[in-house]
Amino acid sequence: MSLHSVLIALGALLPSAGVAFLFYLIIKAMLEGDRRERLAHSQWEAAQESSGSPARQSDIVGKLDSAL
């Protein structure tokens, strides 16, 4: 097998490898975003349970939004 044949075979596989890499990045970003959303939601729920006044609740939500 010559070098030219190997390069042609690698060139044929390159688009598939690129799509697989992009798929990996997208799935990784989705999972990370889900993890952050679950963390923020649990923090928000804990804040809701510990606070009683609506004014304080809006302050907590604002702090959570600025933290993300």
What is the tally of structural domains in the chain?
Answer: 1
In a domain, 11, yes or no: no
Q: And the tokens for 25?
A: 């990045």
- Per-residue model confidence (pLDDT) at position 1: 79
Task: With respect to residue 13, please indicate whether it lies within any of the assigned structural domains.
Answer: no
Q: Residue 15 domain-assigned? A: no
| pLDDT confidence of residue 2 | 93
**What is the reported pLDDT for 59?**
66
Q: Among the residues of the chain, which ranges form H helices?
A: 3-50, 54-67
Q: Which domain holds residue 27?
A: 23-68
**In 3D, which of 58, 7, 67, 11 has the Cα closest to residue 40?**
67
Tokens for 20? 């697989």
Give me the pLDDT at residue 55, please: 54
Per DSSP, 53 falls in state -
Instruction: Give me the tens of pLDDT residue by residue for the chain, a chain 68 residues long.
Output: 799 999 999 999 999 999 999 999 999 999 999 999 999 999 999 999 888 655 555 666 677 677 66
